[in-house]
Structure formats: structure tokens, C-alpha cells
Structure 1
Amino acid sequence: MRIQEHPILGTYDKGQLVEFTLDGKTMTGYEGEPIAAALRAAGILQHRHTRKTGEARGVFCAIGRCTDCVMVVDGVPNIRTCITPLKAGMKVQTQYGVGPKEDAE
């Protein structure tokens, strides 16, 4: 499910395959690719749930302008996963409102 060749951006060199966690589950992705790309390649499309209605959101603009792809990354909420590079050992959590599930208001 990864884009191998983009009509505008061309191709890119994949980084090393690394492990990270999503809501406690071990996953893999390529170091340096956006977190959202690694999640999409694994079939994960929901990144957060809205505070007021609990509706699921995922990648929308994919350029860091909107906030639909924000997640809690290494304990920090509101990280735009479409522009944040993946690193080995990252702890990624689905965001509920303004934080992870246990902190949701």
C-alpha cells in the first residue's frame, strides 16, 4: 500500500525497517517515512476521535495544514503524523479529544 513512485515527488530511498508501537501493538515501518504512511501501509486509517462527537478522523490534507491526522506520539498530543518522521521505538497512540484514551475528557 506504499506509494513507490509519486508523479510529482518521484521516488525515494526507504530507510531501515524499524519497530514502533500503536496503542501498545508492535508495528513496523521505514525510518524517516511519515508516521501516517507507516500506519496506512498497515491498514490503519483512523488516527483520532473528535472531542465533541467522538467521530473518527484520519489523514485529510497530508501536508501538515489540517489537524485530522494528529495523534499522541511519545506522550505528546497533537502531533501531525503526516509530516512527522518515523523513528525506531516511537510510542504512537490514538488520540481521543485532546489526549490518549485514558486521559480523554
Structure 2
Amino acid sequence: MSGFRRSREALVDATITVDGEPVAAVEGESVASALIAAGRAGFAVSGKTGHRLAPYCLIGACFGCLCEIDGRPQVQACLEPVRSGMVVRTRNPEPPHDR
């Protein structure tokens, strides 16, 4: 996976559920950042190529991070702040193998 990591000073103080698995997060960081820091960069699969899709811009312009968050479909994970207890569903048909 990528070399993205949280700084040592970041206080992991929240847990979210992503595709049925608990993921440690920092309250207030974006959901996309929490997933990337947890090694889950693939958020969807291209219907055309079958390749994993990942967030591209992280500023809300590309829609590469669309997820279902707390039952709301098509939410841009890069713009949604983490709240402990959130339930996130990516558009991956199977669990990531690259962790």
C-alpha cells in the first residue's frame, strides 16, 4: 500500500466501521484520510476496467471517494469528518487484499 501514515502526535480517539470491520481513526479527520491511514485506499472498482478506484484529489472535485456513510449513499468521504461510531460502506465488492 502507500506510505501514508499519521504523525505520531495524532491522537487516535475514534473507531468507525468500514465494510463490517473496525477502523481506528482521529475524530474530525476526513473519512477518506482515516481509510487511507488504515491501508484501505481502494474505495470502489471500475465497471469498465475492473481496477480499484481510490481518492484522487481529496478536496471534493473528483468523486473518487464516494461511499455510503451512515446510510447516506454517494457521500464524498474526503469531505466527511470522522465521528466515532460511523458506519461506512465502500463500493468494493470484496475486502481489500493489499493490507
Q: Quickly name the TM-score band, shorter chain normalised.
A: 0.7 to 0.9
Give the TM-score normalised by the residue count of structure 2: 0.77
Structure 2 residue 64 is matched with structure 1 residue 68: yes
Matches within 5 A, 1:25-40: 25-40=21-36
- Highest relative contact order (Cα 8 Å, sep 6+), 1 or 2? 2
Is there any run of 5+ residues in structure 2 with no aligned partner, and where? Answer: 94-99
- Three-state SS of the structure 1 residue aligned to 2:73 is strand
State TM-score, norm by structure 1: 0.73
Q: Shift of residue 49 of structure 1?
A: 2.0
Q: Partner letter of residue 70 of structure 1?
A: L
Stretches of structure 1 lacking an aligned partner (at least 5 in a row): 5-12
Match of 1:21 among 6, 17, 21: 17
RMSD: 2.2
The higher radius of gyration belongs to 1
Q: CA deviation at 1:56?
A: 1.6
Q: Does the 8 A contact of 1:50 with 1:56 survive in 2?
A: yes
Query: Percent same amino acid at aligned positions?
Result: 34
> Is the Cα contact below 8 Å between 1:14 and 1:31 reproduced in 2?
no
Q: Give aligned pairs, total.
A: 89
